[in-house]
């Protein structure tokens, strides 16, 4: 295993850094989901043309969970 991959700041504390180990071969086929904090294959992300890599920042499962929660809140009004 090479050096750990720096994934940015956590949501709990902006000064706290998350270090995640990654395999070098995963870098070309996997992406980091910022919500569930896991490496997942590219197929698990929606396409998003505005992003630098063409993929959403969160995986499909996390994106769907956020959408469902938003719909529940909207229907409660």
In three-state form (DSSP H/G/I as H, E/B as E, the rest C), the secondary structure along 14-64 is CCCEEEECCCHHHHHCEEEECCCCEEEEHHHEEECCCCCCCEEEEEHHHHH
Question: Tokens 């395999």, residue?
Answer: 23
Instruction: Name, in order, each residue with C-beta under 8 angstroms of 52's C-beta and a sequence gap of 6 or more.
Output: none
DSSP lists the bridge partners of residue 9 as: 17
pTM over 0.75: no
Q: Has residue 76 got a pLDDT over 80?
A: yes
pLDDT category at 7 given cuts 50, 70, 90 is very low
Rounded Cα–Cα distance for residues 47 and 7 (Å): 21
Domain borders along the chain are: 5-76
pLDDT category at 19 given cuts 50, 70, 90 is low
Q: What percent of the chain has pLDDT over 70?
A: 71
């Amino acid at each position: 295993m090479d050096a750990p991959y720096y994934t940015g700041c956590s949501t709990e504390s902006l000064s706290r850094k998350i270090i995640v180990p990654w395999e070098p071969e995963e870098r070309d086929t996997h992406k980091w989901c910022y919500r569930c904090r896991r490496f997942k294959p590219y197929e698990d992300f929606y396409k998003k043309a505005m992003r630098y890599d063409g993929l959403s920042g969160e995986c499909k499962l996390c994106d769907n969970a956020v959408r469902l929660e938003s719909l529940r809140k909207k229907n409660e009004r």
